[in-house]
Every structure is written in structure tokens, then in C-alpha cells.
Amino acid sequence: MAWIFSRNTQSDGVDSEKIPFIPLGEVHSIDEQEIVSTTSQSLTKSWRPVYFKVVGYCTNLGWEILPSFVVAIIKPKKVESEKKKLHPTAFLDGIRGFACLFVVFFHLVYAWYPRHHYGFGYPGDGNNHYIIQLPIIKVIYSGASMVYVFFVVSGFALSYKSLKLLRNGSIDNALQSLVSSAFRRPFRIFLPPLTSTFIIVLLVRLGAYEPARPYAYDDQVIPDVHEDHVERFATVWEQLRHWVYHSHEMCGLFRWSRNNPYDGHLWTIPVEFRQSMLLFFTLLTLSFSKPVIRTILLASLAVYAGYVDPGSTLCFYAGMLMAELWLINSSKATPSPVDSRRKAFLTRIKTAIWWLIFLLGLHLDSNSDYWEATPGYSFLARLHTNRDFWHTTGAILIVFSASNSASIQKLFTNSFAQYLGKISYAIYLVHGMFLHTLVYILLPKVWEYTGKDTLAQYELGWGIVVAVFLPCVIWAADLFWRWVDIPAVKFARSVEEACSIRKGGR
């Protein structure tokens, strides 16, 4: 048998007698075990951190893609620590959330239900007596009037902080707040829709819009309103040029187009931006006015806007006036003690009055296209022939009554309404792409199984598709809110801080 070491072997003065004799076969066996053991240990040590990192990333991604309300159910302690106390105007977020949801319902209805044009009892064909056509109920799919609700809420919310500081005598802080809001507004308004339309560009290039193209203008599938279906150009470069052009038209500071072919619902975005800038300019102009004079001038501007064009300008000025009145009411001294029964009685009377005003606002916002001959609305045509005037009036009454009634505010400060308010902008931006892909593709397929010859079959197929569509939109909106909307707000703030001389820069 061969030996590794000879007895006569010496190395560096080491006594060879003390070096053990190891047979070659034994050496091979021991080395193999040691190598396998050492290798497995080293591999375990080297791969273990990578493994745990991968698992950690996958786990974090899993939590990220879950809707936030699901995380709230699974990890209530984590969400509880992130909860904040509702601010005094939190009801505005809830109103905005429901208004956005009703706009989505409107876009689901106006393409497939031609009777949405008519109100209850319209004598056109004698068949307009469905419950869903009744006033107040009809508001849940009255998209045009809900846009005016958006504008009133924006006017209130954008002016609230500056007006509050002005009434407290902090003119410098009010001006700083006003300048900050004006600086950040373009980022806040335009970054999310630029992102959503770019996502649509990607979907178009990936072919996601193509299966729906045969149905987009087919009267047998979409019997009423046909929205523009995004054109797919021959090359990516042509598509990007087309998107850049229309994005510029939407975001242009001095001129803009209401029509965005990538999402026709975005016509409200440039209007919102324009009216925001007008509101900031008005606040700046009236900053040094006495509170009474400012209130009178705001009321005058609102009346004049309603006379000239009862639309978005009236809504924004009305919202700003409401914020002023709300602050005046909040600053009033605590009333002297009165008889508890009398106080309770007066409170009930006031609550009932505000509820009547709220319901009147819902009634006016249920106004249909052929309202002049619709029972409950025909007399309004004799008072004012512009339907938008009544829509804006209804929107103003809804927000004004809610701002003055704690009872009505409960409708909009619960967790569901507040969640809708948080993701409302995201819902508005993402629901169009699901409408043009998921609904346009799925609805004809579902009708092949359910049929659509009878009303029951028609509505069954439509209802199945809506039941798929709404969760997908809510989920996508939740992701868009967390991944795009919130970062856009933070980005606007960081740009402002980087540009501001208040931080020590020049």
C-alpha cells in the first residue's frame, strides 16, 4: 500500500516521526467526506442569505399587491398604527369618493342602457317607469352632475387652509400656503393621468385593446354611446409621438384640448387645473381684504359666474364661499345655555331642514337629458333653460348641506366612504382602461351563454361582467393610489422644497 508521507520526510524542521502515516485509500475517503461536508456547509452559508432575501422580497411584493383593505383585515395592528384622526373636512373626501363611484356607474350604464337619457315618467314612448329612473335613485349613475360635485369639493378643499390662516390673522403663513399649493398643483393634477395614459400606451402596444376593437363600434354589442377606442399605430415611435402630442395638449398651460384619445374621461383634468389656478389667483387678490368684504366679494363672484356660465367656475367659487362660511360658523362662540328640551327640538328641526336641502340637491342632480318634459323637472325649465345650472345648483346644495349637518356627514366619514375618497382619483384614472379591455371583450362572450333577447338575460350578462369589473377596478385603483398617486404628491413636495428659498437655497 502506498503512503502519503515517508518516515524520512522532513519539512521546515518538523519531526517526521510525529507525522502520522495515512494510507492513500483512507486519505481519499476522508477528503471526500470533508469536501462534501465543507462544500455543503459553504453552499448553505452562501445561499441561505440569498434564499431569505428572495423569500423576503416575494413576501413584501405579496403584501404590496394586496389591496390595502385586505391588509387591514389580515394585519389590523399594522394598519391601526397608521390610522390618523379624521380632519374636520374629512366628509369632503367621502363625497368625492361616492361621486367618483357614481361616475364609473354612469360609464357602465350609458353605453348599454339607452334609457339613461330619460327620467321616470317621461312620456316619449310611455315605457319609462323603472325604479332605477326615479329621482334621487337615478343620481347613482348621473355622471355629468357628479363632475360638478367634484368641482365644488375642490373649491372647498383647496381654499380651506389659506382661508383658515387668513381668518386667524396669519397672513404670511396663508400666502406661503397659497404659493405652495399653486406650485405643487400641476404635479398633483398631471403626473397621475400622464402615468395612466402611458400605461394605456403599453397595453395598446401589447395588443390588449385589439380583441375589443371589433366590438367597440358595434351597435349589437354597445347599443348607445361609443367611446373612442385607442388607435394602434404601425410603429412604437408613431404611438409615442401621438401620446406625447395629446399629453401636451392636456397639460398645456396656455391652451389645451378636452379630448384625450387615450382616455376620453380625462376631459375634466385641464378644467380642474384651470379653475384651481383661477381660485388661487382670487384668493391671492382677496388676501388683504377684510373678512366681511372678502365674503361679499366671493358671493358676488359666484353669482356672476352663475349668470355668465353656470359650470365649473361657479362650482369652484361656490366651494370657496362655503369654506369661508364654514369657518365663520366654526369660529362662533359657544351659545349660552338653553333649556335642554328646547335645544334638542331646535337641533332636530335644523337637522331635518339640512336633510331636505340635501335631498333637494340629489333630486336636481338626477336631472335627465330630456328633462323639459319629465315630471318633477318640467317646471324647472320655465325657471332656467340651462340644465347645467340645475346640476351645479344640486351639487352646491349637496356639499353645503353636508358641511352644516353632522348627521349627513356620517354618510361620508365612515371607513368605506373614506377609502373611496382616498382612491377616488385613481379610480377615475384606471376605470377607462378596464372598460375598453375587460368589459368590451367579456360582455359579448358572456351574452353568448346567457343570451340577451329578454331583459332578464340582458341584465344577467351585464351584471356578471360588472361583478368582475368592479373588483378589478378597485384593486387596480388601490395599487395606482399607493404606487403612483401618493408618490406624485411626495414628488411635488420634494420639488417644491428643492426650489424654495425658505430652505436656505438661492
Instruction: Record the pTM.
Output: 0.86
Q: What is the pLDDT of residue 33?
A: 57
CA distance 132 to 298: 38
DSSP string, 110-145: TTT-GGGGS-TT--SSS----GGGSTTTGGGG-HHH
Q: What is the pLDDT of residue 266?
A: 95
pLDDT at residue 58 greater than cutoff 80: no
* Collapsed DSSP state (helix, strand, coil) of residue 180: helix
Choice among 46-50, 370-374, 468-472 with the minimum mean pLDDT: 46-50
pLDDT at residue 321 greater than cutoff 60: yes
* Per-residue pLDDT tens over the stretch 344-392: 888 899 999 999 999 999 999 999 888 888 898 988 988 888 899 999 9
pLDDT band at 56 (very low <50, low <70, confident <90, very high): low
Hey, what's the cell of 41? 456547509
Residues 327, 167 contacting (CB under 8 angstroms): yes
* Collapsed DSSP state (helix, strand, coil) of residue 242: helix
Q: What is the pLDDT of residue 432?
A: 96
Contacts of 457 (CB under 8 A, 6+ apart): 447, 450, 451
Choice among 209-213, 332-336, 491-495 with the minimum mean pLDDT: 332-336
**What's the mean pLDDT in 5-34?**
45
Q: What is the pLDDT of residue 36?
A: 52
* Per-residue pLDDT tens over the stretch 89-138: 999 999 999 999 999 999 999 999 988 889 998 887 778 889 999 999 99
The conformation of residue 309, written as its DSSP 8-state character, comes to -
Residues 488, 188 contacting (CB under 8 angstroms): yes
Residues 171, 288 contacting (CB under 8 angstroms): yes
* Collapsed DSSP state (helix, strand, coil) of residue 19: coil
CA distance 231 to 346: 61
CA distance 72 to 418: 14
* Per-residue pLDDT tens over the stretch 134-159: 999 999 999 999 999 999 999 999 99
What phi and psi values does residue 486 have, to the nearest 5 degrees?
A: -65, -45
Alpha carbons within 13 angstroms on the beta-carbon side of residue 361 total 23
* Collapsed DSSP state (helix, strand, coil) of residue 3: strand
Residue-wise over 262-278: b if at least 16 C-beta within 10 A, else e? Answer: bbbbbebbbbbbbbbeb
pLDDT at residue 415 greater than cutoff 60: yes
CA 27 to chain centroid: 72
pLDDT band at 192 (very low <50, low <70, confident <90, very high): very high
Sign of CA dihedral 440, 443, 448, 452: negative
